[in-house]
Every structure is written in C-alpha cells, then in structure tokens.
Amino acid sequence: MVYSDSPCPGAQRLEVEPTRGLNKTSGREVIGRDVQREHHREIFADAVRPLTGMDARQLDALSRRMKLTAGTQQTCSRLDTQIPAAEKEEKLAPPPALADVQARLLRLRQDYRKLGC
C-alpha cells in the first residue's frame, strides 16, 4: 500500500487528523501556538455557527478561498459537490465503467488541488 498527498488514479481518500498536543507524564497537556490558534478558530466557528450555518472546517475553507478569484471560488464550490458524487459513483460503478469513473474523479481531485480549494 502506498500513501500520497496528491491524487492518484483509483486512490482512496483518507481523512487523517494530526495530533494536537502532547500529554506529559505529569498529566499536563502541552500545546503549541498553532494548536492554540486552531482551538480559537473552532471556538469562534461554534460561536458564529447560528449566523453562518458553517462548522469550523467549512469556515476554514471559506477563509482560505477568500484569496481566490470569484471564478475560482465558484469552481471550488462546484467541485465540492462533484467530487463526493464521483466518489459515490466510483463505489457503484460496474467493472467495465470503473476506469472511466476513476479517471474523471482523478481529474476533479487534481483540479481541486491545483486551484487551491
């Protein structure tokens, strides 16, 4: 099995969360500034969720995409729906059509990455 941070044909997507802090033997948690910023962003996202309807991950994506052009932002939004639909299609595809579905999914994932979505 090979793991990569870039899209590959027929690849499975893995959601991996990095560790966030270290528990010393004293029982105290040691947290770096980057993790503290993540905690603050999550708290902020929870506080404004009734107004925005977005969780921390969605709010993060929105703030990251603010730097992109309007056309690129629209393309990213479109890819947000197309990629999960293509992943579902991949699971249900019969063997003769599987290669075509995987090739389409690969192109979508590459576009997503190249655009910086």
* Per-residue model confidence as pLDDT tens digits over 101-115: 999 999 999 999 999
What proportion of the chain, given as a percentage, has pLDDT over 90?
49
3-state secondary structure of 74: helix
* Per-residue model confidence as pLDDT tens digits over 73-109: 999 999 999 999 999 999 999 999 999 999 999 999 9
**pLDDT score at 12:** 75
Q: How far apart are CA 115 and CA 20, in angstroms?
A: 28
**pLDDT score at 24:** 59
**Per-domain residue ranges for the chain?**
20-67, 68-117
* Per-residue model confidence as pLDDT tens digits over 18-69: 666 666 566 676 777 888 888 888 999 899 999 989 888 889 889 889 999 9
Tokens encoding 33: 């500034």
